[in-house]
Structure 1
Amino acid sequence: MAMTSYPADSPSPPELPLQPICRDVLMEKYAQEGEHGIDDIHRRVARALAQAEKPGERETWAARFLQALRDGFLPAGRIQAAAGTTLAATLINCFVQPVGDSIIGNDEGYPGIYIALAEAAETMRMGGGVGYDFSRIRPHGAWVAGTRSSASGPVPFMRVFDCSCRTVESAGARRGAQMAVLRCDHPDIEAFIGAKDDGELSNFNLSVALTDAFMLAVLDDREVELVHRAEPGPRIRSAQQHRREDGLWVYGRRPAKALWDRIMRSAHAHGEPGVLFLDRINADNNLYSCETLAAANPCGEQPLPPYGSCCLGSIDLTRFVRDPFEPGARFDDDAFSRLAALAVRMLDNVLDITAWPLERQGREALLKRRIGLGFTGLGDALVMLNLRYDEPQGRATAQRIARTLRDAAYAASCALARERGAFPLFDAGTYLGWGTFASRLSEPMKMRIRAWGMRNSHLLSIAPTGTISLAFADNASNGIEPAFAWSCTRRKRLPEGGTREYEVEDHALRLYRQRRGERAALGPAFVTALQMSAKAHVDMVAAVAPYIDAAISKTVNVPVDCAYEDFEELYMQAWQLGLKGLAAYRSGSAAQGSVLEVRTRPACSGCAAPVAAA
């Protein structure tokens, strides 16, 4: 059987047999013609990223980049699949595209709806997922000046975008991904909340953008105004409707608690919509002075401005646990910091070698040079350190790892600015101004930033890493998540249609069994997502979030019998803790079908808990 193979001097796990699903995902999604395994892909990607270096130094950097990939840096899927190939594909995973209120014109710098549709189609054709804020589209029934017709509202136009996503085949046969965002004070917010109740919009994730004013109104049991800049028109004019001093038209008023309850009951029933806390997102933004963030990429880990993009990569934390499962198990901070610094350079290089679906996306990216370095395998790494994910010591260790990542990444970007120049919109006064993420850095780091600048406006993002963790990390736990189950049945879509089921095991369990034997009892650190409280999931995000400048993609898994009141409280706690958003999912609820299925099977002899099959 094929083996995962690493050089002897890298921070690597012992060799483990390559699981069939890991092999098939690797070869189907990432390997190109003539490539037969992980190291072939690593060599291609390393050579491609080195092309951004000076000509005489490319071989040296290619060798260093190759070692970084072998040591556990996992660039995002588009980089792994397309770097160094002739594919007409972007290396950037996700974008946010603006949508204006006109049909084909230009709405104060925002492209009309069908222009935005064409731009999104081109972005998806080249492999990028897209997030949109549909809040500029006038509500259903509003007056359309110069016509005898009234507006359709955002939701019918979302159906057009959904159909386009389903129709356009992206580069590398990647399924399209979209995020739709609507502000909580848009007059059509209730139609948006229920837009997927009948199974429509299957190519969208939905998120409601909540403001602090709305959340305070919920707590105080006050009404909120539903507003838009478009005039309602005579057919739906009522006594409540008037034009405010800020130019917005008031369409009506609703009790904030009633809207909140509508959002929460929909999320409780089928996992959507998620929520984005807009004011927190913008207050933390290093570039608050020159951009406003109103939407996020499809998985929510990157709030982005119009035409913004996220250049992503993750570090496999399991590769830095020394003496795993032993009483003296420890995390190698120094090796982790060194790899993080090199990963920043690699992601910065991606911005200079990638193809951009749209010229405006490229201009936006190179003005700010956003990247999103994060980690994967947190749940497994904690198990290997004998720490429970849902206990204070586990959260403290995760927080220390995130702080180490932040410090290494910001130091590396500052050093790159000294070597290559700061991003063009860098201004030390506003970048380090009160309230920004960067203002919380250490004073020595801020002194260096004032002296040399920053190469990248943003550096940190924790993304979901489903298929790259499968293909390159032996099914290590996904992103910031704990393991969903130690062993499971996973359904995989086949290129020719249909699905195939695979038995797959979590990396930490496989490593434990290799070291301790098949019959060894599992220790108390082996806790899965559904064996811990929902609050423990939120608490982990709260522990890590202060050290992540973009955002964190995290699904709070809760049991199907979670009471509505407890479920609702999770979202309120998330806002009160200063998080940037939240999505919770009741396993076994009426949410969209999962690729993982848990089936209880007989426990191993001597195991502390049953082994679940997913």
Structure 2
Amino acid sequence: MTKPAAPPAALSEIARTVLKKRYLIKDEQGKVTETPETMFQRVAETIAGIDARYGATPSQVKARTETFYHMMTQGLFEPNSPTLMNAGRPLGMLSACFVLPVDDSLESIYETMKHAALVHQSGGGTGFSFSRLRPHNDIVRSTMGVASGPVSFMEVYNYSTEAIKQGGTRRGANMGILRCDHPDILHFISVKQDLSRVTNFNISVAITDAFMQAVANDEEYNLLNPRTGLVQLAVREPLKHPFTGEVLVEANQPMRLRARVVFDLIIQCAHATGEPGLFFVDRTNEGNPVPALGEYEATNPLSLAA
């Protein structure tokens, strides 16, 4: 007995064109091998079929498949892009957003970049906190050289993202975050004023309650080396304002900045280009449901908290 055709999807021609270009299965020659209706059917069957593992009967699975199909084809509910692309296919990744840890070692930095590339390949986006990385010009004892700093590695991640098209359809998306008390914060805040740099990243500054209190009181605050937990010295050269060139910290002196200078720089850059955003890290962790597992350090590219 021939299986009856699924009801047609209520889609505009523009929607069908987008699905054809980005979502529908293609063969090795790039020829589309499914319709929007069969895509929605593939997704509905895959998602509803999971319930069979938890006791759903075949008739219940069938009914849920039909419900999911109806909701998607009538525009009542749509899953995210990776679900439409990957459900019922070998990649099988249905999540769209990830936060990947970046620790202060070359092995961790490049291992995380590998995982990010695999996420992008499957259609996902990634967020990173670069706050654990030692600052520019800090010592690297294994080689007795100096570190290049978190912004340089963010640019390496950016080049990797440029080379990987998400799911063969779109560029990868990244969120880069640095704490307001990291010694490289001025460089980070201003990096995207050059619109040709880190084009595959949105950036946000992780703002602490202590920093905002210092802004309110017009006080100075310390920049801390994440490697040592101590106040960083302005190693080898003074710390200057990225736009005016004003010396804010003399060479070899403890790095303390007026919080309002940093906040004003954030506002100036955000007004010019829309970045950086603000990630209120202490406020976010107040709502952390699993603090025993660790603190939130970053968010994904689509977070409303950033």
Q: Could you tell me whether the CA contact under 8 Å between 1:181 and 1:206 is conserved in 2?
A: yes
Compared CA separation, residues 295 and 251, structure 1 to 2 (3 A): farther
Q: Determine whether 1:204 maps to 2:201.
A: yes
Distance 2:186 2:236 in 1: 19
Q: Report deviation, 1:89.
A: 5.2
Q: Report deviation, 1:169.
A: 2.8
Pick from 14, 17, 26 the counterpart of residue 24 of structure 1.
17
Q: Could you tell me whether the CA contact under 8 Å between 1:267 and 1:274 is conserved in 2?
A: yes
Aligned residue for 2:181, secondary structure, equals coil
Pick from 52, 55, 64 the counterpart of residue 54 of structure 1.
52
Aligned residue for 1:95, secondary structure, equals strand
Q: Determine whether 1:264 maps to 2:273.
A: no
Distance 2:104 2:19 in 1: 42
Which structure 2 residue ranges, 5 or more long, are not aligned?
1-6, 26-31, 238-252
Q: Could you tell me whether the CA contact under 8 Å between 2:206 and 2:280 is conserved in 1?
A: yes
Q: Could you tell me whether the CA contact under 8 Å between 1:53 and 1:61 is conserved in 2?
A: no
Which structure 1 residue ranges, 5 or more long, are not aligned?
7-14, 105-111, 239-249, 302-551, 553-579, 582-614
Amino acid aligned to 1:210: I
TM-score, structure 1 normalization: 0.41
Task: Spell out, residue by residue over 1:47-77, the C-alpha distance to the aligned partner (whole angstroms, 9 max, x if none).
Answer: 0102211263332321232233236111001
Distance 1:147 1:286 in 2: 41
Distance 1:183 1:102 in 2: 18
Distance 2:233 2:16 in 1: 62
Task: Spell out, residue by residue over 1:338-361, the C-alpha distance to the aligned partner (whole angstroms, 9 max, x if none).
Answer: xxxxxxxxxxxxxxxxxxxxxxxx
Distance 1:284 1:259 in 2: 27
Q: Could you tell me whether the CA contact under 8 Å between 1:137 and 1:154 is conserved in 2?
A: yes
Pick from 94, 97, 115 the counterpart of residue 97 of structure 2.
94
Distance 2:81 2:142 in 1: 47
Q: Counterparts in 2 of 1:52-201, with a 5 A limit?
A: 52-54=50-52, 56-57=57-58, 58-69=61-72, 70=74, 72-86=76-90, 88=91, 90-104=93-107, 112-198=108-194, 199-201=196-198
Task: Spell out, residue by residue over 1:147-185, the C-alpha distance to the aligned partner (whole angstroms, 9 max, x if none).
Answer: 321111101111110000001233242311111000000
TM-score, structure 2 normalization: 0.81
Task: Spell out, residue by residue over 1:519-550, the C-alpha distance to the aligned partner (whole angstroms, 9 max, x if none).
Answer: xxxxxxxxxxxxxxxxxxxxxxxxxxxxxxxx
Aligned residue for 2:43, secondary structure, equals helix
The residue that corresponds to 2:29 in the other structure is none
The residue that corresponds to 2:217 in the other structure is 220
Q: Report deviation, 1:228.
A: 1.8
Aligned length: 270
Q: Report deviation, 1:253.
A: 0.4
Amino acid aligned to 1:24: T
Q: Could you tell me whether the CA contact under 8 Å between 1:206 and 1:273 is conserved in 2?
A: yes
Q: Counterparts in 2 of 1:402-551, with a 5 A limit?
A: none
Distance 1:29 1:36 in 2: 12
Aligned residue for 1:227, secondary structure, equals coil
Task: Spell out, residue by residue over 1:351-405, the C-alpha distance to the aligned partner (whole angstroms, 9 max, x if none).
Answer: xxxxxxxxxxxxxxxxxxxxxxxxxxxxxxxxxxxxxxxxxxxxxxxxxxxxxxx
Distance 1:146 1:206 in 2: 30
Q: Report deviation, 1:78.
A: 0.7
Distance 2:225 2:275 in 1: 24
The residue that corresponds to 2:299 in the other structure is 296
Q: Determine whether 1:236 maps to 2:222.
A: no
Q: Could you tell me whether the CA contact under 8 Å between 1:208 and 1:274 is conserved in 2?
A: yes
Compared CA separation, residues 233 and 205, structure 1 to 2 (3 A): closer
Q: Could you tell me whether the CA contact under 8 Å between 1:267 and 1:273 is conserved in 2?
A: yes
Distance 2:154 2:226 in 1: 20
Compared CA separation, residues 285 and 170, structure 1 to 2 (3 A): same
Distance 1:149 1:203 in 2: 29
Compared CA separation, residues 89 and 47, structure 1 to 2 (3 A): closer
The residue that corresponds to 1:252 in the other structure is 255
Distance 1:162 1:251 in 2: 32
Distance 2:103 2:151 in 1: 14
Aligned residue for 1:208, secondary structure, equals strand
Q: Report deviation, 1:233.
A: 9.0
Task: Spell out, residue by residue over 1:305-354, the C-alpha distance to the aligned partner (whole angstroms, 9 max, x if none).
Answer: xxxxxxxxxxxxxxxxxxxxxxxxxxxxxxxxxxxxxxxxxxxxxxxxxx
Q: Report deviation, 1:251.
A: 4.8
Amino acid aligned to 2:270: A
Distance 2:233 2:125 in 1: 39
Q: Could you tell me whether the CA contact under 8 Å between 2:125 and 2:172 is conserved in 1?
A: yes
